[in-house]
Amino acid sequence: METGHQNKRKASDLDPVESKWDDRPRDNFGYASEEERRAKRGLEDWEMVDMMADSQPGVFDWFRTVAGSVVAGIILFAVTAYSIFYVISHYGPYLLGNG
């Protein structure tokens, strides 16, 4: 009685694959063409990284805008709070008519 597991090869029986960055094998990873490989397998890691630089919008532009706005808001709040404190502590009695 055959279970179907006899046809599977162990990992130690497989040929080692040595991959390098930007290394395109001539057999297109076993596919007939580069287009077929991309359609069925997708991009390799290094291909995705190379494509991202050209196609992705600047993520850090919005982050710098939000972070800069938050920092500017904190500074503006601190200056306004200190100004109100200074005016009240130095000129408060005169403004209230007690001076």
Q: What are the tens digits of pLDDT across the range 51-71?
A: 776 556 666 778 889 999 999
At 1 the pLDDT is 45
Picking from 39, 44, 48, the residue whose alpha carbon sits closest to that of residue 19 is: 44
The stretches in the chain having pLDDT less than 70 are: 1-25, 28-29, 53-59, 99
CA dihedral in degrees (38, 43, 46, 50; nearest 10)? 90
Which tokens go with 61?
């532009």
Within 8 A by CB and 6+ apart from 31, the residues are 37, 40, 41
3-state secondary structure (DSSP) of residue 19? coil
pLDDT of residue 3: 53
